[in-house]
Amino acid sequence: MSEKLNGKVAVVTGAASGIGLAATEMLLRNGCTVVMTDRNEAALAELTAKYGDKAVAQVTDLLDPQSCDAMVPEILAKTGQIDILYCNAGSYIGGDLWESDPATIDRMLNLNVNAVMKNIHAVLPHMMERKTGDIVVTNSIAGHYPAYWEPVYSASKWAITSFMQGVRRQMIPYGVRVAQVSPGPVVSALLADWPEENLRKAKEAGALMDPEEVADALEYMLTRKRQVTVRDVIVMPSAFERM
């Protein structure tokens, strides 16, 4: 356990599964109180019962404007402070652009871009007043090069890369660190339709990685000295370039 994280209050969006769940478990191991934020109320109830008093449920639908706007105030009413905001929730669209539909595009951009910006906008005054805090976003390797097989998704991640670099500079005088972690393909709900044997072979070939690898990168970022910001960590499967 890192003493640098012990006693802090962390908020994780998309906390009920995948990278968010792995991040929650890592933060709990490090002595944090973790506000598990997700729209899946039943899953949150089960998980917070499992993890105990250090895990706090926050039911928020980030695609609902009122629910999204209420998230940070509701959490502050429960915990009194937010030391770490990990904006992890997101969705994915792959394939050719003309095969997508406008409603799906809107949904993904609202979740991957708008909700992230609004969550960070909401927490900044609290962190600026306290002169401390960490804000991290789950980005993607697709936010660093034009992935032609997923242009809408890639565009959403490029937007967040630009946004985070701008906000990071604005927060330097306030002692708030702003960063992102950019994974390659991760075993998650996005791969739920893959046959188990195909998943096993891809993992053995080094073409996929587990959510815990992203959580490990997040732990490294959060435990640096306060005067050090790890602005972005790209974590990819070893065989990614062959895909």
Helix axes 18-29, 211-222, angle to 10 degrees: 50
Token pair for 14: 């998309």
Alpha helices in the chain (DSSP H): 18-29, 41-51, 65-79, 102-109, 115-130, 151-171, 196-204, 211-222
**Weakest mean pLDDT among 56-60, 70-74, 89-93:** 89-93
Largest CA distance in the chain: 51
Which helix (H) or strand (E) covers residue 55, if one does?
A: strand 55-59
Residue 131 pLDDT greater than 90, yes or no: yes
Give the global pTM: 0.93
Domain boundaries in the chain?
Answer: 9-235
Question: How much is the average pLDDT of 108-136?
Answer: 98
Q: Which CATH entry fits the domain spanning 9-235: 3.40.228.10, 3.30.450.20, 3.40.50.12280, 3.40.50.720?
A: 3.40.50.720
Q: What is the DSSP letter of 33?
A: E
pLDDT of residue 243: 42
Q: How far is CA 75 from CA 17, 33, 83, in A?
A: 20, 12, 12
Residue 65 pLDDT greater than 60, yes or no: yes
Using alpha carbons only, give the angle 195, 236, 111 rounded to the nearest 5 degrees. Answer: 75
Q: What is the pLDDT of residues 76-109, one digit of tens each?
A: 999 999 999 999 999 988 888 999 999 999 999 9
Q: Which residues are catalytic?
A: 153
- Answer whether 208's CB lies under 8 Å from 187's CB: yes
pLDDT of residue 167: 98
pLDDT tier, 147 (very low <50, low <70, confident <90, very high otherwise): confident
CB burial of 181-204 (b: ≥16 within 10 Å; e: otherwise) equals bbbbbbbbeeeeeeeeeeeeebee
